[in-house]
A and B are shown apart, each in its own frame.
Chain A
């Protein structure tokens, strides 16, 4: 069982917006602004999409945005495109000795 809780799957049609949630505790998501999001296509390495809750690395589309409220972080993808279909993982620093925790992943299907 993953430390951070994500929905197993979400779906949306091209052009729509979707949001993926990532729920933790005050020891991780809620306590620090160190939430990151990764996109993983089948057979590929994860790719950093958002860091420090809401920052986008250079080269990542501005259709991807991140936010946080309390113990829940969110990744929003606007203007859905077929290429966005992938698995998405959240991660957070944790004050526990584990240092990092990941979510179980969310499969995004573009209908």
Chain B
């Protein structure tokens, strides 16, 4: 069990650029989640996958945000035309589950995005 891996750890970019983050979940976990955490706040839910299907999206996920999980393994989160307000820590979590089973979510170290 190597844990949830996120890359890159830090990303600095200019406003208006596109960025993409990657998350590799724990290998046997079929569920994958993205959260956003701003300084001094708790994480906020963005989206959730079960296998390759994106089953839930928060209204925080504007049309500039897109997430994918091809083949139900790793996931990518892309932000297009970045804005100052996108500066945050982006956290990925994974869990094992089916139906109403509720195994706890395991978090990665996060990707810190800074918009210049």
A binds B: no
Spell out A's residues near B (CB within 8 Å). Answer: none
Spell out B's residues near A (CB within 8 Å). Answer: none
